[in-house]
Structure 1
Amino acid sequence: MELSERQKEIIEIVKKNEPITGENIAGLLGFSRSTLRPDLSLLTLSELLIAKPKVGYFYNAHRVEPFIIKDIKEKKVEDVMSVPVIVSSDTSIQDTIIKMFLEDAGSIYITEQHHLVGIVSRKDLLKTVMGKMNIEEIPISMAMTRVPNIAYVLSGDSVEFATKKLLEHEVDSLPVIESTDGNGPRPLKVIGKFSKTLVSRLFLNIINNEI
């Protein structure tokens, strides 16, 4: 079962204000009681809320929390992804290092004409600096890991799938590639980042009941 945004709002209102009457819920949302009646009936029948006559509605944590976890697993990567840090392939290694620390990024994605061609991590850049290369003049393309040796996820993939891929490849982040129709080779347009930090934040939100 997939909840509507209004039903999710109702659950959040009840969680913060229990016990609360249907009239008060309707008032907080700006709807009439009759408009919300189908939503409240569904949430009560699903045992996500508990209704007590003459008292009001209560939040049923034992039912809601497993539902929230399932909801997160089925979310699309595009719903939770963060902003990627990107430089072009002709950017110098030195400028890439500066950008990495200014943005506090673990990895930087390298593009040509807005399409993914490589990736560098802090470890890659450390090795480059230790190799005594002329980092002011050499482009980052000389130090990056190149496509096709890069794991990535599509924007339409599920959070569960993307998390498994993070663990499978033992990386800190995965570039998110725009989903397209059709088969065969295609340019990889980077539109986001899916990272271990993001997964940790989702997990913490579950613990704190913030989702």
Structure 2
Amino acid sequence: MDLSERQKEIIDIVKVNEPITGEKIATLLGFSRSTLRPDLSFLTLCELVIAKPKVGYFYNAHKVVPFIIKDIKEKKVEDVMSVPVIVSSNTSIQDTVIKMFLEDVGSIYITENHQLVGLVSRKDLLKTVIGKMSIEEIPVSMAMTRVPNVAYIFSSDSVEVATKKLLEHEVDSLPVIESNKGDEIKQLKIVGKFSKTVISRLFLAIIKNEM
């Protein structure tokens, strides 16, 4: 069952303002009561909201929360991903370390000609620094984990699939690769990052809707 954006707005309004009349909902959304009647009827039949004559509409958390969980699971990664931190493979280890701390991230993705070629973590950089190498001269490509040993996901993958892969590989984040139309993967263009922070935000959305 998929809800329209307007139906989702109605549920949010009812949650915050219950009990609330259909007329009041229509006013808040800027529509006529007749325009919203099909939406309200649908939400009532699905028991996402409860209608009480002469009182108004009530939020039904027991029905809404499972729907929200299902909706989040099926969302595409491209709908929730964050901005990746990227450097080119010829960037020095020193500059990469500086960027990592300025951006406050646990890993940085490495590219050549805008294509993913590797990943470097705090642990990788720490090993290099401890080794007393000339980090201002050595490129980060000497310290990175190279593709194909880097796990990644596609922008068209579901949040559920991405979360399973994140746990499977026991990492804090995964680079998001632009989905290819063909079956053969020829390019690994990075378009985002899927991380434990993203999952935490989605989990918080569920908690807020339970309150």
| TM-score, length-scaled by structure 2 | 0.98
Match of 1:74 in 2: 74
What pairs with 1:126-141 in structure 2 (closer than 5 Å)?
Answer: 126-141=126-141
The offset of 1:183, in angstroms, is 2.0
- AA of the residue aligned to 1:27: T
1:48-63 aligned at under 5 Å gives the runs: 48-63=48-63
Which amino acid in the other structure matches residue 26 of structure 1?
A
Separation of aligned partners in 2, 1:129 and 1:143: 10
Contact 2:154-2:179 within 8 A present in 1 as well? yes
* Shift of residue 205, structure 1, vs aligned partner: 2.0
RMSD: 0.9
Q: Which amino acid aligns with 2:206?
A: I
Once the two structures are superposed, residues 151-180 of structure 1 have per-residue CA deviations (whole angstroms, 9 ceiling, x without a partner) of 100000000000000000001100000001
Distance 1:121 1:46, change over 3 A: same
Match of 2:21 in 1: 21
User: Within the alignment, does 1:144 sit opposite 2:144 as a pair?
Assistant: yes
CA distance in 1, matches of 2:28, 2:76: 30
SS state at 1:209 partner? helix
2:74 aligned with 1:94, yes or no? no
CA shift digits 1:67-109 (9 cap, x unpaired): 1001000000000000000000110000000000000011100
CA distance, structure 1, for counterparts of residue 77 and residue 125 of structure 2: 28
In 1, Cα distance between the equivalents of 2:57 and 2:208? 21
2:31 equivalent in structure 1: 31
Secondary structure of the 2:204 match is helix
Gaps of 5+ in 2: none
Aligned equivalents of 1:30, 1:178: Cα separation in 2: 38
CA distance in 1, matches of 2:123, 2:205: 30
Tell me the matched-pair count.
Answer: 210
CA distance in 2 between partners of 1:165 and 1:88 (Å): 25
2:157 corresponding residue in structure 1: 157
Distance 2:97 2:19 in 1: 54
1:121 corresponding residue in structure 2: 121
Counterpart code for 2:48: L
Pair 1:195-2:195 in alignment: yes
> 1:16: Cα distance to partner?
0.4
Is the 8 Å Cα contact of residues 22 and 57 (structure 2) preserved in structure 1? yes
- For residues 102 and 11 of structure 2, the distance between their equivalents in structure 1, rounded to whole angstroms, comes to 40
**Aligned-pair distance for 1:185?**
3.4
Calculate percent identity across the aligned residue pairs: 82
Deviation sequence 1:109-145 (CA, Å, 0-9, x none):
0001111000011111111111111100000001000
Unaligned runs of 5+ in 1: none
| 2:7 corresponding residue in structure 1 | 7
SS in structure 2 at match of 1:120? strand
Mapped to 2, the partners of 1:68 and 1:110 lie a distance apart of: 35
Residue 200 of structure 1, CA deviation? 1.5
TM-score by length of 1: 0.98
Please report how far the alpha carbon of residue 209 of structure 1 lies from its aligned counterpart in structure 2 after TM superposition.
1.8
Q: Secondary structure at the match of 2:209?
A: coil
Given residue 17 of structure 1, which amino acid in structure 2 is its aligned partner? N
What letter is aligned with 1:150?
V
8 Å Cα contact 2:61-2:209 kept in structure 1: no
